[in-house]
Structure 1
């Protein structure tokens, strides 16, 4: 997973460096807002003067999916003290969430205590430090490079999520909410400006999971 993640962090940093962001600014952004999608949006909107309100609004919109991700983890964290839950949710990203949820489901099926906090904390630590440091390195060397999109590294991020989906795969019937989410997000992306496709895909997938769960 890191093989696909680290080039993407470098791309984020390089794009930020080419927009005038320093490596320190990139490091602060990635460590305070640990969510790749909204970070790329912020970099794309980076300008002089800085449109702070626009960046904050888009970040909130894109990161709204974390509400649903947290809700999915809630049943496995209900017996965990709040002083552990809050840091766990702060360091939650798409990858650590998927790894933690898959591990919890596996342990539950084995009759073990569902949520493995040491496993989750280890995954979060590696992802957090790797993402932030490689993004900062990218920002430091960014002005030295030209159009990095031509290098083909853009496939790295989708590849990471395909690997995560494969790890969570159960059956075609269980994956129907994924298909609903994909189709909805694609339709909104093609017909609506902005990042509305992110919450649209997340909410439609949640409703589909609820509907098929009720009718199964």
Structure 2
């Protein structure tokens, strides 16, 4: 009985992952620059903005965090921003779970770094590579490292130069990331049956967002998609 090759790590894979990340640059640059601009307008220092980009490293959570950001912090506001960040980032639990077969033989430190650097864009690139038969974990890490670096640089650019575009929505820049994700999903298309969980997740997210305030629609959509996939299988 044949089995799929065991995952491995190489510097060649690291370089391949860095090159594979290039199509994601426009979306990352626009999103991070928009965050840098919003952070400056909110009154954050460059160090505070960079701290969020370096350690939180999640565009949606960073934007939501800015909405809650206070000049004077209380225990309540700290708990609120922690909870909201956890809710918005909970989708990463599912992304990480799908990578378990790929990372289970990796050293703990490298797996932790890979999971810290994972984003939707990096996950899509890595998943596409894996579905095509690739098993070099260096590809995933290379993609993650390069995208993280681009995010930091674009945050700085947005912080200082973003005032030139005070309202990104007027130029449609807020659509860059959704368009990128939509394009990256195309190679994952395997027919209407396997795409049904995507539709279920999107529909449930939309309904919950319309009916329930807050960010619970992210969890609801993700869980609905997982359940739909399990039922189909």
TM-score, normalised relative to structure 1? 0.89
Equivalent-residue separation in structure 1 for 2:41 and 2:111 (angstroms): 37
Structure 1 residue 82 corresponds to structure 2 residue 105: no
Residue 92 (structure 2) aligned to one of 60, 66, 70: 66
**2:127 matched to which residue of 1?**
101
**2:151 matched to which residue of 1?**
131
Equivalent-residue separation in structure 1 for 2:175 and 2:40 (angstroms): 21
Aligned length: 207
Deviations 1:80-124 (A, max 9, x none): 2223211111111111111112211211xxxxxx53222112111
Classify 1:13/1:69 alpha carbon distance in 2 versus 1 (closer, same or farther; 3 Å). same
Alpha-carbon distance, 1:78 to partner: 2.0
Q: Please tell me whether the aligned partners of residues 35 and 93 of structure 1 are also in contact (alpha carbons under 8 angstroms).
A: yes
Equivalent-residue separation in structure 1 for 2:47 and 2:28 (angstroms): 20
Alpha-carbon distance, 1:140 to partner: 2.6
**1:161 matched to which residue of 2?**
181
Alpha-carbon distance, 1:5 to partner: 2.3
Classify 1:49/1:145 alpha carbon distance in 2 versus 1 (closer, same or farther; 3 Å). farther
Equivalent-residue separation in structure 2 for 1:19 and 1:144 (angstroms): 16
Secondary structure of 2:219 counterpart: helix
**1:21 matched to which residue of 2?**
44
Structure 1 residue 9 corresponds to structure 2 residue 32: yes
Secondary structure of 2:221 counterpart: helix
Q: Please tell me whether the aligned partners of residues 30 and 131 of structure 1 are also in contact (alpha carbons under 8 angstroms).
A: yes
Equivalent-residue separation in structure 1 for 2:174 and 2:208 (angstroms): 21
Secondary structure of 2:215 counterpart: coil
Alpha-carbon distance, 1:206 to partner: 0.8
**1:203 matched to which residue of 2?**
223
**1:41 matched to which residue of 2?**
64
Equivalent-residue separation in structure 2 for 1:70 and 1:95 (angstroms): 13
Secondary structure of 1:193 counterpart: coil
Equivalent-residue separation in structure 1 for 2:90 and 2:64 (angstroms): 14
**2:13 matched to which residue of 1?**
none
Q: Please tell me whether the aligned partners of residues 103 and 137 of structure 2 are also in contact (alpha carbons under 8 angstroms).
A: no
Deviations 1:4-47 (A, max 9, x none): 22111111111111101122211111110121111111112223
Q: Please tell me whether the aligned partners of residues 197 and 225 of structure 2 are also in contact (alpha carbons under 8 angstroms).
A: yes
Secondary structure of 2:190 counterpart: coil
Residue 193 (structure 1) aligned to one of 213, 217, 224: 213
Q: Please tell me whether the aligned partners of residues 61 and 199 of structure 1 are also in contact (alpha carbons under 8 angstroms).
A: yes
In structure 1, runs of 5+ residues without a counterpart are 108-113
Q: Please tell me whether the aligned partners of residues 168 and 174 of structure 2 are also in contact (alpha carbons under 8 angstroms).
A: no
Alpha-carbon distance, 1:167 to partner: 2.7
Structure 1 residue 57 corresponds to structure 2 residue 83: yes
